[in-house]
Structure 1
Amino acid sequence: MSEMNTIITIGRQFGSGGHEIGKRLAAHYGIGFYDKEMLQRAAKESGICKELFESHDEKPTNSFLYSLVMDTYSYGFASSAYSDMPLNQKIFLAQFDTIKKIALEGPCVLVGRCADYALEEFPNRVSVFIHAELDARIQRIARTEDLTDAAAKDKILKADKKRASYYNYYTSKRWGDASSYDLCLSSSKLGIDKTVEAIIRYVDAFNDQKTVEAI
């Protein structure tokens, strides 16, 4: 097997175990893992306080502001408009810039925050989406967060709606749509262990193929 040189991005339904799956993948390959860590690093590098990144985390903005963000992003941080930009736009740009910097440093696992879209031009990126049946997610969240089933379901539906809106605003793709990702897996049907194993097999095959193409 060739040396690991792949960046894995993970989109996930709330309660599907995407965070745990990502951590296990990073541990298996001995590479960096970034979930909330992306926000911490973006805050440090941008000088914007971490609490503001957390309050804006995976929350959509309106389409007008989005168009302004993307126009500015295409010109980079050097744009004179950056200093006059609304805070949510600065947070968006700082986060995307950090995702690209992390990816340039080497193989890693990145969870959420449109990382697959930010790294769309990276040939060594594998994008994964983890989903699960609602009942399984309710059981998981009710257990891990000590909630009633009703409260867990409400939290799941709200979180998924927020993530979908954020992703659909900031990318040219649809959140959770199979065509938006390289690999989609159900953690409720496979279980966490087998889901991790399936991703490892896919990533290893992808990495080996890239090595062959480079020879």
Structure 2
Amino acid sequence: MDNFVITIGREFGSGGMDIARALSEKLNVKYYDKELLAMAAKESGLCEEIFENHDEKPTNSFLYSLVMDTYSVSGYTSAPFLDMPLNHKVFLAQFDTIKNLAEKESCIIVGRCADYALAEHPNCLSVFVHADMDFRINHVMDTFKLSKEKAKDMIQKTDKKRASYYNYYSSKKWGDSRSYNLSLDSSELGIDGCVEMILKYMDIRKRNKG
């Protein structure tokens, strides 16, 4: 498989989306964030609004391992899929969309457990972007025009949701460097520095594989 995929997990306010955009321009490939929701809705036949409501949100269901076992054998049209909780349907639809996308084209995918979905993909580079709290607060204040207190609150709540979602659906831990190929501090490197590091990593890995 010649297609390559870069997955970007990110702390809220760390500039992960900015890095995805810059990589997209440098590599001349598309990046996908919320576009995945519309794609998954179309492919699964579920309403797009449902995906938006469940987007990177945690779940409290304990049925997941059972659901995954039945789904892997039977797919969308089976009784187990039709009977499963809505949040699982949403996750599995996104999971399939991510895998299908990686088969069709080289791309960059932001969030949504894409690194886990593509664990078997031979040319997937998983990246996690983090930054110190002051950097993130300033970034969120500037982006969303919020006060310092509201920006910090938004960061903490969003990170908590992302971590719960990732830790539940994947077999790894959100933000743990061992869960990713590359972990970058955007408050130290800046957006351009992170892009440069990712491109260098890709180049070195390609040489080592060659």
Q: Is the 2:67–2:80 contact (alpha carbons within 8 Å) kept by the matching residues of 1?
A: no
Runs (5+) with no aligned partner, structure 2: none
Partner Cα separation in structure 1 for residue 3 and residue 51 of structure 2: 29
Three-state SS of the structure 1 residue aligned to 2:40 is: helix
TM-score by length of 2: 0.94
Partner Cα separation in structure 1 for residue 67 and residue 15 of structure 2: 31
Which of 55, 64, 67 is the matching residue for 2:65? 67
Moved more, 40-49 or 129-138: 40-49
Partner Cα separation in structure 2 for residue 134 and residue 65 of structure 1: 35
Letter in 2 for 1:74: S
TM-score by length of 1: 0.92
Three-state SS of the structure 1 residue aligned to 2:122 is: coil
Letter in 2 for 1:54: E
How far apart are residue 32 of structure 1 and its match? 1.9
Letter in 2 for 1:103: A
Partner Cα separation in structure 2 for residue 129 and residue 53 of structure 1: 23
How far apart are residue 79 of structure 1 and its match? 3.4
Q: Is the 1:63–1:169 contact (alpha carbons within 8 Å) kept by the matching residues of 2?
A: no
RMSD: 1.4
Residue by residue over 1:158-189, the C-alpha shift from the partner in whole angstroms, topping out at 9 and shown as x without a partner, is: 00000000000011110000100000000001
Three-state SS of the structure 2 residue aligned to 1:176 is: coil
Q: Is the 2:71–2:81 contact (alpha carbons within 8 Å) kept by the matching residues of 1?
A: no
% identical equivalent positions: 60
Q: Is the 1:6–1:207 contact (alpha carbons within 8 Å) kept by the matching residues of 2?
A: no
Alignment correspondent of 1:157: 156
Alignment correspondent of 1:29: 27
How far apart are residue 74 of structure 1 and its match? 2.2
Alignment correspondent of 1:146: 145
Which contiguous aligned blocks of 4+ residues in structure 1 show a shift greater than 3 angstroms?
A: none
How far apart are residue 63 of structure 1 and its match? 4.3
Residue by residue over 1:59-95, the C-alpha shift from the partner in whole angstroms, topping out at 9 and shown as x without a partner, is: 1112413223322332233533212222222111101
